[in-house]
Amino acid sequence: SGDGYQAWLGFHRIAPGELYDQYAVYNRITVTEKDDIVRTAISELSRGIASILGNEPEVAESGVGVPCIAIGTFGSNPIVDRTFGNDTRSAVGPEGFAIKSDKDNRCIAIGASSGSGILYGVFHLLRLMSTGATIDKLDLVENPVNMLRMINQWDNIDGSIERGYAGKSIFYANNRITGDLERVRDYARLLASSGINAISINNVNVHKYESMLLTQEYLPDVAKFAAIFRSYGIKLFLSINYASPLEIGGLSTADPLDPAVREWWRGKAAEVYAAIPDFGGFLVKADSENRPGPFTYDRDHADGSNMLAEALKPYGGIVIWRCFVYNCKQDWRDRTTDRARAAYDHFKLLDGRFMDNVILQVKNGPMDFQVREPVSPLIGAMEATNQMIEFQITQEYTGQQRHLCYLIPQWKEVLDFETYAKGEGSSIKRIVDGSLYGNRFSGFAAVSNIGNDANWTGHLLAQANLYGYGRLAWNPELAAEGIAEEWIRQTFGGNEKLVRTILGMLMESWSIYESYTAPLGVGWMVNPDHHYGPNVDGYEYSKWGTYHFADCYGIGVDRTQASGTGYAAQYRGANYDRYESVESCPDELLLFFHHVPYAHVLHSGKTVIQHIYDTHFEGAERAEQLKAKWDSLTGSMDEGLHKQVASRLAEQAEHAKEWRDMINTYFYRKSGIADQLGRKIY
Ligand code: GCW
């Protein structure tokens, strides 16, 4: 229907024809197991097939008889066991699966070593069917590349969502946990179908009532969430308040080395695990943006996280400790303090001191999810420490789900980035999948973009970012185009013109957004606090450390070792050389690393000032074209869906002009240099 609620799980009916006939053979599911996740898998498979074919398949609780889709963990279903030999079985990891078609016997077998594997296998088959793939010649094994594939909710218990752009929380309202568990279950479906296996359900800024999620007042309700997510193979985590011993424990300190504090956390862990035996662990934002942490007690972040890790260890729990630690009360005159340096400077020297059930969660860039940033140099810089990467699906700085910005291409660039941490072949994706250093824990985390809007993400096309995040966490080798295409076909059906048009729009959207906002990697230039809309000097004269240093001569931040903050030296070898030198620094990051005059000539051959004018005029025009492209799809999809997106794109086109004019006029007046093409600049 036209509200987008089904997202990519709409399973459009396919028209009678060859494909229909091919799929229709498999109208019987056989299974012998009854555990929670396998039951979920069967109900998902039946529901999906019923929707695609228009007939509910029969479910037979015995492992025999064809035609069928036989599903089961190895050793449970005779057809599955007959289908997969030892080689295949040993190739299937804990969450992986194998699928094989036997056309002659009209049978497809899905085998796995766990219920989760079965569920992922089922969703894989449904994805193939809902993208129009041939399914009678399948022979594949899939394993997730990353162990942790996590979603972070920034939901507050009053129902608000920090940086949420799609309505209110689906988890909480009025300081209570919601009674609408159906919506939470539907969210679990969306997540599991894209490959997610972990979720933290409250904001990393943990306020008064959220701190109490760890108490008996809330734990029974938290356990209800855990049960829902469990049946979809997703582990539940909580963000905790570092000062909990004080705030909810009645102690007079939260000093991590204080025996009473350690004892308190051990007791707390026991209580949490009594309520939720497979609880994932704690996510912690400490000593960051005015949140409490070990610094208060002159302890470091190894002391702080190890104390929690020790409490969780007996239960197999983990501590995910965020590295977003920086001085947010800077003085612009102090040119040695550089926010970009902070995470590396704080954590690098602690390498080797963290327990093996601690994971450091590092944002993809050194600043804060800007449209363009270099890759965080901390990732890969700690060989004796578990690390995971943090992305932001919610579009805080990339248009807040009013502008179209498909983020997978940005994340792909990050993941493919060569760090040289252990010589060539040390890309970010190999660090965060744990293979480069052989970490015990590692993976992906990302801040969700959903709320209680009917279509989950506000902007319907922003669903592609949620879907794509899960797919990329499962396998970072997938291409951004491929993921987008899968998502489009599942969401809108398979009309080729529609698929090509939306694919083109998604693929150019990041570049469009970048071109009319802050130029050449300098970032920010947004309105303070809510971060929407242009404001070139919005943060320039405040303490947050996000300067661009524009004056009448030039712009940019000198982060070189030679004459600036030295940030460039946090990179290794060729990366350091490339960023340090103004000649070799890539255009798109020039102003992140260098302060240059407006007449500085880029690799593109244009001056910085002309580049600013050109990209802003073009960007606003391209935003206008996005709207026209979408308009050309009128009639080729559900009208409701079409309308929703049309109105967002109209707003984007208007707002892009505001960006264009604000930025252009600012730099025209600062520099006094006219546009070579004499276009209208206010
Ligand atoms: O990007 C900033 C956001 C804050 C957020 C913080 C963080 C949850 O503006 O809203 O707080 O990052 O990542 O901790």
What digits encode the pLDDT tens for the residues 536-562? 999 999 999 999 999 999 999 999 999
Among candidate residues 44, 186, 390, 396, the one labeled active-site is 396
- The residue with tokens 């279950």 is 185
Position 426 scores a pLDDT of 98
Residue among 161, 363, 368, 371 whose CB has most ligand 1 atoms within 8 A, to mutate: 368
Residue among 162, 393, 448 whose CB has most ligand 1 atoms within 8 A, to mutate: 162
User: Do residues 598 and 673 make contact, with C-beta atoms less than 8 angstroms apart?
Assistant: yes
User: Do residues 138 and 108 make contact, with C-beta atoms less than 8 angstroms apart?
Assistant: yes
Position 490 scores a pLDDT of 98
Is the distance from the beta carbon of residue 207 to the nearest atom of ligand 1 less than 6 Å?
no
Among candidate residues 368, 373, 390, 675, the one labeled active-site is 368
Q: How far apart are CA 570 and CA 555, in angstroms?
A: 22
Position 65 scores a pLDDT of 79
* Pairing state between β 235-240 and 198-200: parallel
Position 451 scores a pLDDT of 98
**Dihedral, CA of residue 198, residue 201, residue 203 and residue 207, to nearest 10:** -140
User: Do residues 13 and 23 make contact, with C-beta atoms less than 8 angstroms apart?
Assistant: no
81 is known as an active-site residue: no
User: Do residues 20 and 14 make contact, with C-beta atoms less than 8 angstroms apart?
Assistant: yes
3 is known as an active-site residue: no
Among candidate residues 289, 331, 416, 654, the one labeled active-site is 289
Q: How far apart are CA 340 and CA 543, in angstroms?
A: 14
Pick the atom of ligand 1 nearest to 390's CA. 13
User: Do residues 593 and 584 make contact, with C-beta atoms less than 8 angstroms apart?
Assistant: no
Average pLDDT of the chain, as a whole number = 97
Pick the atom of ligand 1 nearest to 447's CA. 13
Residue-wise pLDDT tens digits, 57-105: 999 987 677 789 999 999 999 999 999 999 999 999 999 999 999 988 8
* Residue 645 amino acid letter: V
User: Do residues 156 and 171 make contact, with C-beta atoms less than 8 angstroms apart?
Assistant: no
Position 117 scores a pLDDT of 98
Residue-wise pLDDT tens digits, 137-170: 999 999 999 999 999 999 999 999 999 999 999 9
How many C-beta atoms surround the C-beta of residue 600 within 10 A?
19
Position 417 scores a pLDDT of 98
Specify which residues 392 forms β-bridges with.
447
Is the distance from the beta carbon of residue 285 to the nearest atom of ligand 1 less than 6 Å?
yes
First to last CA, the chain: 45
Using 50 as the pLDDT threshold, list the residues of the chain that sit under it: none
